[in-house]
Chain A
Amino acid sequence: MMLTMLAAGAIGAPTRLNPVELFLHADIVVQVVMGALGLASVWVWMIVIGFTVRMGLIGRRCRKYEEGFWTARDLDAYQKEQGTRDIPTARVVAAALAEWRRSTSGKTIDRDGTRQRLAAAMDSAVTEETDRLAARLNFLATVGTVAPFVGLFGTVWGVMDSFFRIGAQQNSSLAVVAPGISEALFATAIGLAAAIPAVVAYNRFSHRVNGFESGLFRFADRFHATLSRELEQ
């Protein structure tokens, strides 16, 4: 009986770490944790890829737009031509031009007030653009912070479950303990696998967004200066 038990244990033991098997053998709570972490990981990578592509596209369009912007004779015509595309700089310009038209449509022009309103309009447009860009980055930050804890929760639960099973079987041999703990630790592994890229990507992307924001601000200041000069005439 001893031998058959030993043999069964030896044969039943997984010969390698198979993530699907680990998932299927785990407790339901651990499975939920693993599933959630898996989805989080998918979402993180979606953001990483999507943000990288989007940031590249936007950066290229903005540079192109700005080059054309400073050489354009007729801003309204240029704006009409370019404005339909998804360009943050164009939207900042649009906000400024809208404010300009409203402020200069009256008989008397309050130059100081107009300058302040233009600045405020452009600032708000710039922050809105950067907020939109960074909208998804907070998910990266959340996953990077929380995923290890969630994984740890799954592990603790799995280990608890394993020890409970040991108690129920009255057998403390390693063959009984090991698989459960292995499954439980798998939860932490997934948590870390989701968190590490998320943290790295978050730091990198917020740096990029900050850079883009300051670029937009520089453009807005320059445009504001142009408009102010225009007001003086």
Chain B
Amino acid sequence: MLTGSPSDPDSIPRRGFAPEYAIGLIVAIAAHGAVIAALTLSPLGRHPEPPPQRMTVSFAAVLADQSASSKPDAQAAPDLAPTLGEPDHADQPQPVPVPVPVPVPAHLPVPVPKPVVKPAPKPKPVVPKPEPKPVPKPEPKPQPKPQAKPEPKAPPKPVAKPQPKPAPAAKPVDKPKPRIDAKTAAGGDSRPHPDKAKPAGGSKIDSNFLKGISGVTTPGTDKVSPGDKPAAVPVAALVSAISRQIKPHWSAPQGVDTDKIVTVLSWSLNPDGTLAGLPVVVSQTGITDANRAQAQIHAELAIRAVRQAAPFTLPPAAYAQWRKVTAFRFDRKLSQ
């Protein structure tokens, strides 16, 4: 080639950019653009996890416990005259209307109850107490009395009936319970007991007074059981139940002085024990310079523990008590 060969087919550029590579460059750029576009736009991009849903805020009407006061419109329990003497059947819960505020010295077989009996069927007035009661009373009495009694009875005497009862005799033990039950159920309008009590014992008070004064009620004598509140579960039991369920999920962050941090959370619960909304940090204490960085993590872990512990298993009857956990402490003790 020293002389430069004449027949050398150098019409094709040797160092140039071959047309095949130009095509290749265009195709390659297009392909890369397509790949990027596919990754960017198409569903090929994975959805690692659905974004957290917005918290739904429900305004709870009641944060406090339910009112425990008696119903203002409940009909007052008519005052009863103290019954003297022993009822024949101590085992009969109904018959004994013995709200005797005055300590009765002895058993006086005085047939006082009669006046009350008037509205009721006749069988009662009959002297032989033991036999007539069991049979006739259960059916007839309950109905007639509700109408007649509420008005007649309103003697001012018995201010504190429930307590004095124990004094008279063994009966009181049985009596108080049935009353509360019956009244709560019936709304306080019916008073089956007094009637039945008639035969049981006598009263010091004249039978005229025993009827009671119509329309007058003695304050504090309302026997309606207050509210619908169920038997209260001790708060301590609820707290320990909650902490027992949170414990497995709670671990304090590691670090200097982190055991000094105390995070107080509050959260609301649904009746089924699930969280109503997110737990909220009420306060944090024990933050020092050394553990400042850990404080947020502490709160974060506490919130996470609550969320993981939900749904809580708590006595449903006491929902009113645990519907809002106002302040729950997360500290080093809880994680032990």
Taking Cβ atoms with an 8 Å cutoff, the residues of A that contact B are: 1-3, 5-7, 10-11, 13, 15-20, 38, 41-51, 53-54, 57, 79-80, 83-87, 90-91, 94-95, 97-98, 102, 121, 132, 136, 170-173
Beyond A45-B27, A46-B24, A91-B8, is A38–B39 a contact (Cβ under 8 Å)?
Answer: no
Q: Is the CB of B20 within 8 A of A54?
A: yes
Q: Is the CB of A16 within 8 A of B296?
A: no
Known: A11-B51, A42-B32, A98-B6. 20 other contacts (CB 8 A): A3-B281, A13-B51, A15-B48, A16-B48, A18-B45, A19-B39, A45-B31, A46-B25, A46-B27, A49-B23, A50-B21, A50-B22, A84-B11, A94-B7, A94-B9, A97-B7, A98-B5, A98-B8, A102-B3, A132-B14
Q: Is the CB of A48 within 8 A of B24?
A: yes
Task: Give the contacting residue for A45; candidates B24, B40, B278, B300; CB below 8 A.
Answer: B24
Whether a CB of chain A sits under 8 angstroms from the CB of B105 is no
Of chain A, the residue at the smallest CB distance from B263 is: A2
Q: Is the CB of A49 within 8 A of B36?
A: no
A85 to B10, CA, bound (A): 9
A44 to B24, CA, bound (A): 10
Of chain A, the residue at the smallest CB distance from B25 is: A46
Chain B residue total in the interface (Cβ 8 A): 40
**Those of B18-55 within 8 Å (CB) of chain A:** 18, 20-25, 27-29, 31-32, 36, 39-40, 45-48, 51-52
Of chain A, the residue at the smallest CB distance from B277 is: A3
Beyond A18-B45, A45-B24, is A91–B36 a contact (Cβ under 8 Å)?
Answer: no
Beyond A18-B40, A95-B5, is A38–B20 a contact (Cβ under 8 Å)?
Answer: no
Q: Is the CB of B36 within 8 A of A19?
A: yes
Q: Is the CB of B296 within 8 A of A5?
A: yes
Q: Is the CB of B21 within 8 A of A54?
A: yes
Of chain A, the residue at the smallest CB distance from B302 is: A2
- CB proximity of A34 to chain B, nearest CB, Å: 12
- CB proximity of A148 to chain B, nearest CB, Å: 18
A136 to B293, CA, bound (A): 56
Q: Is the CB of B40 within 8 A of A20?
A: yes
By a CB distance below 8 angstroms, the chain A residues around B29 are 42, 46
A36 to B241, CA, bound (A): 60
Of chain A, the residue at the smallest CB distance from B28 is: A45
A94 to B36, CA, bound (A): 48
What would be 9 A-B contacts, judged by CB atoms less than 8 Å apart? Answer: A1-B281, A3-B278, A5-B296, A15-B47, A18-B40, A46-B27, A49-B23, A51-B20, A85-B9
Q: Is the CB of A98 within 8 A of B1?
A: yes
By a CB distance below 8 angstroms, the chain B residues around A102 are 3
Whether a CB of chain A sits under 8 angstroms from the CB of B232 is no
Beyond A42-B32, A47-B21, is A10–B51 a contact (Cβ under 8 Å)?
Answer: yes
By a CB distance below 8 angstroms, the chain A residues around B21 are 46-47, 50-51, 54, 136
Whether a CB of chain A sits under 8 angstroms from the CB of B276 is no
By a CB distance below 8 angstroms, the chain B residues around A121 are 1
By a CB distance below 8 angstroms, the chain A residues around B18 are 50, 54
By a CB distance below 8 angstroms, the chain A residues around B22 are 50
Beyond A2-B296, A10-B51, is A16–B45 a contact (Cβ under 8 Å)?
Answer: yes
Q: Is the CB of A171 within 8 A of B296?
A: yes
Chain A CB within 10 A, most for which of B1, B22, B278:
B1
Q: Is the CB of B281 within 8 A of A2?
A: yes
A11 to B6, CA, bound (A): 73
Q: Is the CB of A17 within 8 A of B28?
A: no
By a CB distance below 8 angstroms, the chain B residues around A7 are 52
By a CB distance below 8 angstroms, the chain B residues around A6 are 300, 303
By a CB distance below 8 angstroms, the chain A residues around B246 are none
By a CB distance below 8 angstroms, the chain A residues around B299 are 2
Beyond A17-B45, A54-B18, is A42–B9 a contact (Cβ under 8 Å)?
Answer: no
- CB proximity of A116 to chain B, nearest CB, Å: 16
By a CB distance below 8 angstroms, the chain B residues around A79 are 7
Whether a CB of chain A sits under 8 angstroms from the CB of B297 is yes
Beyond A16-B46, A17-B45, A19-B40, is A173–B9 a contact (Cβ under 8 Å)?
Answer: no
Q: Is the CB of B6 within 8 A of A49?
A: no
A149 to B1, CA, bound (A): 43
- CB proximity of B170 to chain A, nearest CB, Å: 62
- CB proximity of B234 to chain A, nearest CB, Å: 31
Task: Give the contacting residue for A171; candidates B8, B12, B14, B293; CB below 8 A.
Answer: B293
Q: Is the CB of B24 within 8 A of A173?
A: no
A97 to B6, CA, bound (A): 10
By a CB distance below 8 angstroms, the chain A residues around B52 are 7, 10-11
Of chain A, the residue at the smallest CB distance from B17 is: A50
Of chain A, the residue at the smallest CB distance from B295 is: A2
Of chain B, the residue at the smallest CB distance from A170 is: B293
Q: Is the CB of A49 within 8 A of B24?
A: yes
- CB proximity of A126 to chain B, nearest CB, Å: 14
Whether a CB of chain A sits under 8 angstroms from the CB of B238 is no
Whether a CB of chain A sits under 8 angstroms from the CB of B280 is yes
- CB proximity of B330 to chain A, nearest CB, Å: 12
Task: Give the contacting residue for B27; candidates A1, A10, A49; CB below 8 A.
Answer: A49
Q: Is the CB of A173 within 8 A of B51?
A: no
**Those of B284-314 within 8 Å (CB) of chain A:** 293, 296-297, 299-300, 303
